[in-house]
Structure 1
């Protein structure tokens, strides 16, 4: 039962990460492969502040959001003038830079040894240390992020983002500041990803740089594609599918050395199948009338 509850927490966390990337990829058409970097920023901020400075968990969430937001805003300002493949390459470069900071800033991040014994969240003496309590906490954060992203998408702000995605020149011609909107949504996306990272750190209780690689960014992008780009509810469905199905391998009599490659093959196969049969994902985007 505890393992099932753990999987529910994991689904909630990856739903947050997928929703965050869907804001930039699905709504705005900004194809980034650096989401794991912002996940890592949130995770390391929370882990360091909890283990080394004794901060309150919710304070670390807000500090992590601030750090990720500032870095995301700076990255967006510097790179979003690039188009298409050039921006993807720039986001890849940023991902590599952040990964190497995690790996080599040993005095702060413990380098390849990682940060261990990350304590569970506590609020006014109430601990979320039990699996059920932590699952409820994770689901609560997921619900907030889902609601916030949905409201953004339904608001005039979201309609402008979709207009930018379809035709930047047309959006600019009707007086929309395209660069400002893109910087703003990328900053929000970065901050939301940091929440997922903070929750992940406390769930696993151990983090190292090898968790936040380009492979993780591509995995989160796959969740967006399978769930449905532009549909935040699809983000939850995609995360639930790609997290839960491979986890079922743990209940089969399969050696660990074999289960891991099978899991990776399964991820790739599911992605190829959906790209071929349902390119718009399980829950395609629904465009509301009026712009």
Structure 2
């Protein structure tokens, strides 16, 4: 109980510090924008980690699920009688989860590279279909989307995402997913429905990717198909691999680091992709398990580190 109160206090203190900084102008609009991108990438990276890290299913379809959530929100809040933003966001997440179910049932029979190619194909199909629908703005996308979310919404949803995913991972469902990752055949022999848990992870990950896409649309006010291309899926995957497949803490740290790096290199996108490639090569050669591997940073670790420092 004491641990939970302490965690809640830390969450509230961080929120208060950043909110105060934004109000007094210490955190300007540019810094705020990058903070929101970090929170968005945390949602995307942790949700993909449930699929690829915890359950061991190599997916490159996250950008497609993002696109479904983003376009659902954009359409629903620009109707003549628009729906409330957060209701639209939830619907976008549900639509993305449904797409995850539809694509997950057939493709999760595949493994490894074949699964990655199948999910990548799905994401590209979604992008091309959207690009060819005039009602959705075609290649030009949808602009003038009303802003329905700000710093508080981003922060709360990011925290809720981490809490929900952490609870899932530490539950019996999460342990079943880990069993599927470690040895699918052995998991089946002890009575685990491997197909069920693979699809469940895929659906949950797709839901949060859809939520992330809707948040993007609701803050930035403009979306187009090319935002959700192959490179977006690669961006998210690099965060997961860098942080450690199976570690939520690692995904959070990697999302923070790579978002900052991406911002610093935004004027030279070609260099950014080269750097990402180099990072992946270095990780595979010297730290294939990622920064944290499957380990999580816990409050007790931080407190013990502080005591050693003192």
TM-score (norm 1): 0.88
Counterpart Cα distance in 1 of 2:265 and 2:53 = 31
Distance (Å, rounded) in 2 between the aligned partners of 1:278 and 1:4: 31
Structure possessing the higher relative contact order (Cα contacts under 8 Å, 6 or more residues apart):
1
User: For 1:119 and 1:272, how far apart are their aligned partners in 2?
Assistant: 41
> Given the alignment of the two structures, is residue 281 of structure 1 paired with residue 281 of structure 2, yes or no?
no
Contact 2:58 2:116 in 1 (8 A): yes
Instruction: Determine which of 60, 76, 101 is the counterpart of 2:88.
Output: 60
- Preserved contact between residue 42 and residue 193 of structure 1 (Cα < 8 Å): yes
1:72 counterpart residue number: 100
Correspondence for 1:20 among 44, 47, 70: 47
Q: Which runs of 5+ in 1 are unaligned?
A: 122-127, 129-133, 251-255
Contact 2:85–2:218 under 8 Å retained in 1? no
Q: Which runs of 5+ in 2 are unaligned?
A: 1-27, 297-310
Check whether the contact 2:169–2:175 (CA below 8 A) recurs between aligned residues. Answer: yes
Instruction: Note the C-alpha offset of 1:266.
Output: 2.5
Q: For residue 249 of structure 1, report the CA deviation from its aligned partner.
A: 4.2
Deviation at 1:83, TM superposition (A): 2.6
1:237 & 1:44 partners in 2: Cα distance?
29
Report the Cα distance in structure 2 between the residues aligned to 1:220 and 1:61, rounded to whole angstroms.
Answer: 20
Q: Please tell me whether the aligned partners of residues 11 and 239 of structure 1 are also in contact (alpha carbons under 8 angstroms).
A: yes
CA offsets 1:107-134 (integer angstroms, 9 cap, x no match): 2x1111110011111xxxxxx5xxxxx2
What's the TM-score, normalizing by structure 2?
0.83
**1:125 corresponds to:** none
Structure 2 partner of 1:177: 193
* Residues 5 and 156 of structure 1: CA distance in aligned 2, closer, same or farther (over 3 Å): same
Moved more, 163-172 or 262-271: 262-271
Match of 1:237 among 232, 253, 270: 253
Distance, in Å, in 2 between the alignment partners of 1:115 and 1:156 is: 42
Counterparts of residues 125-144 of structure 1 (less than 5 Å): 128=149, 134-144=150-160
In 2, are the aligned partners of 1:46 and 1:57 still within 8 Å (CA)? yes
- Structure 1 CA distance for aligned equivalents of residues 219 and 275 of structure 2: 24
Q: Does 1:39 align with 2:66?
A: yes
Q: Greater shift after overlay, 84-93 or 175-184?
A: 84-93
Name the counterpart of 1:253. none
Superposed displacement of residue 223, structure 1:
0.8
